[in-house]
Amino acid sequence: MSPPAATGLQAVRRGTPALRTVVATMTFLVVAAFLATLLGDVGSLAFSSAALIALSAVAANRDAVFADQTAVSGSVLVVCASIVGFGTTSPLIPLLCAAGAAFHWDHLRQARIQRVLLNMGATVVPAFAATGFFRLVAGPNWYQAAVAIIGAVGIYWVLNNAVVGIALAIATDQNVRTFVAGLIRSDTAMLVFAVGGALCGLVMTEVGTWAGIATLSAALVALDVFVISVPAATAGLGSAWKILLTRALGGVAAGLVSMTVTAAVSGGVIAAAEGLGAGIVAGTLVVVAAAVARLVRARHSIDLPLLAGFALAELPLILVAAIAGVVAALGGAPAGFVVASMLVVLASVGAAWRRRCQGPLLVDEDVLLAAVTEAIIDGLPQPAPQR
């Protein structure tokens, strides 16, 4: 007869001092175990939520302001990440992140309380509605998660722009409906970034909280360097979502293929080399296929030099994703996300340093390359967004 998996005390003799000592000691240890576990969870939750709130506040103060007094910032990434990462377990955290996004240093320094309250309403209320939707729809199946993420991001985007649009339309005596509709349709590339932030929240739940925060931090750095800090970049956000989506698909393909091949091949160095090569090939094929599809749709001839140039321009991101996939296969998913985050941050800092050494430019060369590629593939230049 096999012993039980766990033993318990069913009957004891009462009244012995030794037994009372054991009972008191074990009671103390039980309480200590619960307190240690509880405080450990609370401490971890407090640190992670504080990190997200700080990221939200910093991102909100690194924004790009338009002539109509609207602005875009990376805070939308943080809010969407917190909704997915903590919406079902700690729904207060998305609200705190949304509140952090409402505090701009200039508004506080100049005591513009009305703007602070308006911004808080434009972030907290949409975050509350989006979190409620996510909690209601999210489930164990992949399609439930997809609907919950896309729906939550869409709700936050629409309500946030609606509140800001209503306030500005009233303040400037413009048509509310037209103004709000224009805001919702403008800067659609930020929706791609918002979904990316939500996927960082998915990394928090599926891989690890700090791996997700590291990935989110890298996304914010890249957004700041290549979009927020470049005046020419924000002018083309409305038409940039296609190339952003292509880059995302190419990166995902490179990472997944490199991780799969590395895990399937025996031998450390050989597996890493084969996985890296397979990931680069897969990511390149995805971005080239996307370019070919757009050329065919626009009824343009297939230009091989153009496709080669497009693939070469997207190679850095594909390489980062492939390296991360190899690391994930060899050292685990958290290590892969952390390495990818470090590489993205290093590449972004390098681009910012190069830009600074070159002096002030009206158009950053990275943004110019993306704009030229978009114009050639689409066949026509993209008009400036109407705000």
Task: Read off the pLDDT of residues 330-360 as tens digits, 9 standing for 90 and up.
Answer: 888 888 888 889 988 888 888 778 777 766 5
- Residue 187: left (phi > 0), alpha (psi -120 to 50), or beta? left
153 burial (CB, 10 Å; 0-12 / 13-18 / 19+) is buried
Of 63, 75, 121, nearest to 101 by C-alpha is: 75
What tens digit of pLDDT does each residue of 70-96 get? Answer: 677 889 999 999 999 998 888 889 998
Q: Mean pLDDT lowest for which of 62-71, 261-270, 321-330, 350-359?
A: 62-71
Structure confidence at residue 180 (pLDDT): 82
Please say if the pLDDT value at position 382 is more than 60: no
**pLDDT of amino acid 366:** 52
Residue 149 pLDDT greater than 90, yes or no: yes
**pLDDT: which is higher, 210 or 355:** 210
* 157 close to 355: Cβ distance less than 8 angstroms: no
pLDDT band at 375 (very low <50, low <70, confident <90, very high): low
Token reading at 204: 């928090």
Confidence (pLDDT) at 261:
92
- Give the pLDDT score at 62: 82
Show me where the domains of the chain are located: 34-226, 230-387
In the predicted model, what is the mean pLDDT of the chain?
Answer: 78
- Cβ atoms of residues 186 and 168 within 8 Å: no
| Pairwise pLDDT comparison (20 vs 286), residue with the higher score | 286
Residue 380's pLDDT is 42
User: Is the Cβ–Cβ distance between 227 and 64 less than 8 Å?
Assistant: yes
Residue 363 has pLDDT above 70, yes or no: no
- The type of residue at 147 is V
Residue whose tokens read 């190899």: 326
Residue 10 has what pLDDT? 45
* Consecutive H or E run containing 71: strand 71-72
Instruction: Work out the number of other CB atoms within 10 angstroms of the CB of residue 315.
Output: 17
212 neighbors 204 (Cβ within 8 angstroms): yes
